[in-house]
Amino acid sequence: MKQVHNFNAGPCILPKPAVQAGIDALNNFADTGMSVIEISHRSKEWEPVMADTVALWKELYNIPEGYHVLFLGGGASTQFFTVPYNLLEKKAAYLDTGVWANKASKEAKFFGEVEIVASSKADVYNHIPKGWTIPADADYFHITTNNTIYGTEIKHDLDSPVTLVADMSSDFMSRRVDVSKYGLIYGGAQKNVGPAGVTVVIVREDILGKVSRPLPTMVDYRTHISGESMFNTPPVFSIYVMHETLKWIKDIGGLVEIERRNKEKADLLYSEIDRNPMFKGTVIDREDRSLMNICFVMEDKYKDKEQDFLQYAKDNGMVGIKGHRSVGGFRASCYNACPLESVQALVKCMQEYAV
């Protein structure tokens, strides 16, 4: 197989043991003689996988009693309207830190008043807004912890006077999280914990059932709690690979080790960006720099070399480092399974090109 360094923003790079387990399960799942995509989700072979995947989430995140872990379809974008459907009675508050945060707030406006407590949109989302206040009369406060396109991240758990809701799609399982500070956390699996096709929702049960509107069956979180994420057929393959990915996280030392690795990779690449005269970071406040999606551009006098560097990097095995079209430049997504060796190879590539 061709050796490449995968920095794609999503779907993500996955641990090799998880990929291999998925391949094996496609051929013969649990010695059933059938593929994992052929077996019944009600079979005695599958049900333990569901239960153990929930248990791994609870163990790795140290999820308290009273919370449920759900595996749903539709991607995180479906949660943009499912959250307000279940939680918004009169008013919700949103922090606008990027494209996905902005889209989430727009969906919420179908269900009630939405207050944007702060936004960095005017600055092309190059920082996390500071100095805002969460309105105490909001039904919930919504944040997007990591902004894949712009390379900003909220790396600490906020204190909120109202129910805190977080879209953690692109930094799920990348660091330790105090789940008790959140009423609901959601995210697509395809950035850090598995392939596309399954969305994870962690929800505290006591925040549900408070809105006066009737809820369609499939958007009511209580449907999926009572059905143990199998009210309808779950995306079994995506869940299986996620299960194997969580096992890998646990085996290497859990989130303490994952967080250490992610900081090491980010520190290495940001140090080169800051040192190298040809490049500069796009996030203005260093404390806001994402550990997951590291965005940078050419210094102004080298702008004409951007495409040439992209080709040079490609020729040296770098995959997926072109920045999002709305930002330009470069983006290295250093998700959990991205090895330090790949970041070292990118740094070497930047150094050699700048000579």
CB 217 within 8 A of CB 85: no
Backbone angles phi, psi at 188, to 5 degrees: -70, 150
Q: Please identify which of the residues 139, 167, 171, 220 carries the catalytic annotation.
A: 167
CB 7 within 8 A of CB 269: no
Whether 305 is a known active-site residue: answer: no
Distance between CA atoms of 232 and 133, rounded to whole angstroms?
Answer: 40
Q: Residue 55 is which amino acid?
A: A
- Return the closest-CA partner of residue 296 out of 323, 333, 261, 257: 323
Q: Dihedral through CA 123, CA 156, CA 160, CA 75, nearest 10? A: 70
Whether 167 is a known active-site residue: answer: yes
Q: What secondary structure does DSSP assign to 43-88, as a single string?
A: STTTHHHHHHHHHHHHHHTTPPTTEEEEEESSHHHHHHHHHHHHH-
Whether 132 is a known active-site residue: answer: no
Strands 5-6 and 318-319, bridge-based pairing: parallel
Q: Please identify which of the residues 191, 265, 288, 322 carries the catalytic annotation.
A: 191
Q: Please identify which of the residues 100, 171, 288, 322 carries the catalytic annotation.
A: 100
Position of tokens 């690979």?
241
CB 85 within 8 A of CB 219: yes
| Burial (CB count <10 Å: 0-12, 13-18, 19+), residue 249 | buried
Strands 199-204 and 184-188, bridge-based pairing: antiparallel
Which residues does the annotation mark as catalytic? Answer: 100, 167, 191
